Copies of this chain bind each other. A is one copy, B any other.
Amino acid sequence: MVSAECFALRGDIVQSADVQTLACVEDGYAVCEKGRSLGVFPQLPGHLEQVEVRDFRGHLVIPGLVDLHTHAPQFACRGMGMDLELLDWLDAYTFPEEARYLDLDYAARAYRSFADEMVKGATTRALVFATVHLPATLLLMDLLEQSGLVTMVGKVNMDRNAPDALREPSAQASLDATQEWLASVRERAYSRTFPILTPRFVPSCSDGLLAGLSALQRESALPVQSHLSENRSEVAWVRRLRPDAAGYAEAYLNSGLLGGPCCPTVMAHCVHSDPREASLLLERGVWVAHCPVSNTCLSSGVAPVRAFLDKGLRIGLGTDVAGGYSPSILHAVAEAVKASKLRWRLEDEALAPLTLAEAFCLATRGGGSFFGRAGAFDEGFDFDAVVLRDDPPPCGEKIGLEARLERLVYTGADSLAVDKYVAGRRIPLPQAAADAS
């Protein structure tokens, strides 16, 4: 008997086999049962012949993409102040914008546009920074819960080096607000929206605040997200702020917030992480959120992703809206390849550029692993899938699935998403869905 909660997407299926290799099945079936993947089949096996088939022949079916680092309250001001570097840009654009989220009416409008955008594209899971504001953060979580995406959202902690409107009055006040936020989240009993501890970065968090968050992390077992070694002046600043630490990562480590078996942690950027810091991240099992667009736009540089991969680090991609101007992870795939080429050509020819297959793996399996079993159609994985409309090129010649994926990554981006599933649940897309099949 085939379960009523079982269906198959028929189409040209592309996913990552491993970090170097794409696994492609032309005119195949990606099968979902009760929200989980049963795998990809060239033909439906006998016991599945009766499942409902949703027909996307000629189009690409890929695993849902994972955005491992984004700031929802910066979505409204993306593409602005791009002639500045990180610390000046935070002061001139980001902090004033985040201060608006005290106003719930504003938050409702701006977060609605963020949530709508997340639904439209190819992203199915995301790690999201909110602001320090408790009510606005809950509102964002309500909207993301409704969106159908699986997200982890953090009320931001910051008790120093921030404008008055954003600086929490003390470490204790920041911790109390965090406890209150977590209590409200528990009451709401979201099914797909989870809290994540979110100290903004070392410059914004006193030693006492980080220590308190570490204690909270130990008792709650919540995951952690923050920023690491993004921009040169930030790195230099952290060295001055934390003379106790041998480096930026050690500042988190000394404060008990750098991974380990019971503290799943994502650190965004790691542009300036040297081999010593990278080894520490590996040892602590920390995920790196590579954010190529933001790191280019804020003149931070390009993270040595090739070296991280060689070392065996866990890496995903982040859009880092609004250091990055685009909420699209497909765009981030192209940009990761592009940035790695310039790093190779201009900075270090020892580190070969990323291939499209590698960048795509970061966007799927790489980030997906932070959510458990996600980012691929392996049996038992959460069934996250996106159908990308793929109109053949005018030559009419059959081109391979890898080339078709590359072509869509560079030319089409998220506007081509015509159907989308998160953990087996169909996410209604505005307009597009009707056009394709």
Contact = CB atoms under 8 A, between A and B. Distances in A.
Contacts of A393: 76-77
Interface string A59-97: 000000000000000001111111100000000000001
A398 interface: no
Contact of A406 (B80, B301, B356, B411): B80
Given A106-B395, A326-B411, A302 B342 contact: yes
Interface string A364-378: 000000000000000
B297 A341 contact: yes
Contact of A347 (B77, B299, B326, B346): B346
Nearest to A83: B355
Interface residues of A, number: 47
A395 B399 CA distance: 45
A296 interface: yes
A338 B110 contact: no
Given A77-B393, A411-B325, A337 B106 contact: no
B80 A344 contact: no
Given A100-B395, A393-B77, A338 B407 contact: no
A344 B232 CA distance: 13
A113 interface: yes
Contact of A83 (B76, B296, B356): B356
Contact of A411 (B79, B337, B355): B79
A160 interface: no
A131 interface: no
Contacts of A334: 325
* Identical copies of this chain, number: 2
Given A100-B395, A106-B395, A410 B356 contact: no
A338 B296 contact: yes
Interface in A330-358: 334, 337-339, 341-347, 353, 355-356
A276 interface: no
B301 A395 contact: no
A342 B339 contact: yes
A213 to B, nearest CB: 30
Contacts of A302: 342, 346
Contact of A79 (B80, B341, B410): B410
Given A97-B395, A325-B411, 7 more contacts: A79-B409, A296-B338, A297-B338, A299-B344, A302-B346, A339-B342, A342-B343
Interface of A: 76-83, 97, 100, 106, 109-110, 113, 296-297, 299-302, 325-326, 334, 337-339, 341-347, 353, 355-356, 393-395, 399, 403, 406-411
18 contacts: A79-B408, A80-B399, A80-B407, A83-B356, A97-B395, A109-B394, A113-B394, A296-B342, A297-B338, A297-B341, A299-B341, A299-B342, A300-B345, A301-B342, A301-B345, A302-B346, A342-B346, A343-B346
